[in-house]
Structure 1
C-alpha cells in the first residue's frame, strides 16, 4: 500500500470505559503492551480501561497513562500490519508523549510512568473546584485575548488554540467568571475537567515535572514530532525536554500545528490513533480539504485500506 501519512495522538478527555478492550481480545501484541503498562505503574491500568469505574478512569493521573497506552496499542498494531512509517507526528497535550514514543525518542515504559506523575502533579497544583476551563466558540483569538487582558479578578489565560473559532481558556473560578462577563453574548461551554491545564496555575506541576523529565532518557526522534508550544518540528533530546516542560504551563498551538503539517506534507493522510475522534474533527475544521481518519478500534485497522479509498 502506497501511503503517506501523519500520525496524530489525542489528549485528555478522549477516555471512555471499554477503550482498547477489543484490541486486547484480538491481539497478543496488545495484551503485551497493556501488561507492560500495568507493570510500570504497579496497578492494573488495563482493568481501569476495560471495566472502569468511570470516575477513577477519568482521574487525571489515570486517564493520562490510559490514553497514552491505548493510543500506542493502535499505532503498534497498525505498524505491525502495514509497516509504513509516518512522515511526521504530533499529539495534543498528553498526546505529544505518545508521538515521542512512536518516534522512538522515549520508551513506552518511561512515558507511562512520566504521564502518570504528570497527571498527579497537575491535579495537586490546583485543588478540585478552584480552577476550570471553558471553550469559547465562534470567536477569533484576537477578541478572546482582548477580553483576557481586561480580567482583573483572578487568572484567565488561553490554554489551547484548537481550530478556527475554538479557543480554550483556563484559570481560577474568579478569573473565568470575570472573563465570561467580559465576553457576554459569546457561546462559552464549560469543560468537564478536574484542573485548569496549560496556564500559569500549573507552575507547581511544571517545577515538579522538570526533575522527572531531566531524569528520563530521550533519544533523537526517528521522524519529526511537532511540539505543542512551538508548532514546529523537534528532534533533539534537549529541545524535547525543554518543550515538554514549557508545555505544562504553555498554550497548545494545535491550529498552527495542523496548518504547518498540511503545508509541509500537502498530500499526507492525517491518521488519529487512540480513543475517540476529537482530533479528526478538529482537523476538518482547520482544513476541510484534509484527508483525516481515525483508528480507535481493532476493526478500524483491519478495514483501513477500504476506509481510505
Structure 2
C-alpha cells in the first residue's frame, strides 16, 4: 500500500517548485491559479521571496498547499493514486483536497484565512514553540505538567520517537526547555514561529475557521484520510470533518501515531508530496524499513521516476 504525506508550515523555501514550474505546463497553470484565487502573485513569492515574506504564516500556508496540490495533480495525470493520505498540521488540508473532501479553491482560501488568524491569535512574543530531542514523550509530558498544570505549555507535536515539540507561553516553554536539558535532552531548539501553534492559545483560530466552514461544502473522503487530532480515519460525516478541522488548530498533532496507524494496516511505501523531506525523515525514525520518496525534485524526469517506483 502507498501513502501520500503532505508537509506543514516550515517546509517552504524560496525557489520552491521552480524547476517543475519552468518545465511543466500543468504545474505552471496550477500555481498561477492559486494567485488568481487569492488575488496576489503567489508564484513570485514562492520563487523569489524574499524569505521574510514567504515565511509569514498567511503566505507560507497557501504556498505549501499550492505546491502540494500541483504535484498531486500531476502524479494523478500519470495514473498514480495513493491508497491512503495524511498531512502534518497544514498538510491535512492538502490531504483532504486529494481525497475529494475539500475543493482546491476552498482549501486555498481556508488556509490563507487560517494563517492570518494564527498570526493574530496572540500578541507577538507572548507565545513560542521548542523542539526537544532525545527524551521519551512521557517525560516531556510530565515536565510540561510540572511547569503548568493549567496546560499553558503542552506537547503540541508528536513527530517521531524522541522528537517532540512543546508549545505555549514563552516563559513557560523556556522553563520546560531548561528542565528537559537537565533531564538529559540531547538537543533543544526554540523555533522561529509567530505563535504557539496547536495549543489552547490558538482557540480563536478555531472560531474563525468555524465561520468560514459554515459557507463551504465538505464531502466524505473518497480515500481514507487520517486525522492529526485522533490519529484515526476521518469520518464520512461532513459536519464531523468540520469539527475536527476546527479543533485541529489548537490540538496536538499526533504524527507518530498517524504513521504507526498506516504501518499497522499494511502501508509500506510513503511518498512525501510537496516541498521538503522532513516527513520522510520522521517515517524512517519510526520504521527504518519503510520505503520513502520525495517529490521535491528539479525536473519532470525525476518526478516520473518517483511515480514509476511508487
Taking structure 2 as the reference length, the TM-score comes to 0.94
Could you say which residue in structure 2 is the equivalent of 1:90? Answer: 86
Could you say which residue in structure 2 is the equivalent of 1:146? Answer: 142
SS for the counterpart of 2:272 is: strand
Q: Structure 2 CA distance, aligned partners of 1:253 and 1:198?
A: 11
Aligned residues: 303
Q: Structure 2 CA distance, aligned partners of 1:258 and 1:116?
A: 27
Asked if 2 retains the 8 angstrom alpha-carbon contact of 1:171 and 1:199, the reply is yes
SS for the counterpart of 2:117 is: helix
Could you say which residue in structure 2 is the equivalent of 1:282? Answer: 282
Could you say which residue in structure 2 is the equivalent of 1:10? Answer: 7
Q: Structure 1 CA distance, aligned partners of 2:123 and 2:3?
A: 37
1:129 matched to 2:125 = yes
Q: Structure 2 CA distance, aligned partners of 1:121 and 1:219?
A: 24
Q: Could you list the per-position Cα deviations for residues 153-207 of structure 1 after superposition, in whole angstroms to 9, with x for gaps in the alignment?
A: 9921111000000110001111112222332332311112121100011011111
Asked if 2 retains the 8 angstrom alpha-carbon contact of 1:118 and 1:205, the reply is yes
Could you say which residue in structure 2 is the equivalent of 1:295? Answer: 295
Could you say which residue in structure 2 is the equivalent of 1:176? Answer: 173
Asked if 2 retains the 8 angstrom alpha-carbon contact of 1:33 and 1:73, the reply is yes
SS for the counterpart of 2:222 is: coil
Tell me the CA shift for residue 235 of structure 1. 4.0
Distance 1:182 1:96, change over 3 A: same
Q: Structure 2 CA distance, aligned partners of 1:127 and 1:214?
A: 27
Could you say which residue in structure 1 is the equivalent of 2:255? Answer: 254
Asked if 2 retains the 8 angstrom alpha-carbon contact of 1:36 and 1:109, the reply is no
Q: Structure 2 CA distance, aligned partners of 1:307 and 1:105?
A: 27
Could you say which residue in structure 1 is the equivalent of 2:69? Answer: 72
Tell me the CA shift for residue 56 of structure 1. 0.3
SS for the counterpart of 1:176 is: helix
- The answer to which of 36-45 and 150-159 deviates more is 150-159
Tell me the CA shift for residue 39 of structure 1. 1.1
Q: Could you list the per-position Cα deviations for residues 226-247 of structure 1 after superposition, in whole angstroms to 9, with x for gaps in the alignment?
A: 0100101114212211111111
Q: Structure 2 CA distance, aligned partners of 1:265 and 1:39?
A: 40
- The answer to which of 96-105 and 233-242 deviates more is 233-242
Q: Structure 2 CA distance, aligned partners of 1:305 and 1:64?
A: 25
Asked if 2 retains the 8 angstrom alpha-carbon contact of 1:157 and 1:199, the reply is yes
Tell me the CA shift for residue 296 of structure 1. 1.0
Tell me the CA shift for residue 302 of structure 1. 2.5
Could you say which residue in structure 2 is the equivalent of 1:116? Answer: 112
- The answer to which of 144-153 and 217-226 deviates more is 144-153
Could you say which residue in structure 2 is the equivalent of 1:41? Answer: 38
SS for the counterpart of 2:289 is: coil
Following TM superposition, the consecutive aligned residue runs of length 4 or more in structure 1 with deviations greater than 6 angstroms are none
Q: Could you list the per-position Cα deviations for residues 73-114 of structure 1 after superposition, in whole angstroms to 9, with x for gaps in the alignment?
A: 111111112x13211100000000000000111111111100
Tell me the CA shift for residue 21 of structure 1. 1.6
Give unpaired runs (5+ residues) of structure 1. none
Could you say which residue in structure 1 is the equivalent of 2:153? Answer: 156
Could you say which residue in structure 2 is the equivalent of 1:239? Answer: 240
Could you say which residue in structure 1 is the equivalent of 2:306? Answer: 304
What CA RMSD, in Å, does the superposition of the two structures yield over aligned residues?
1.6
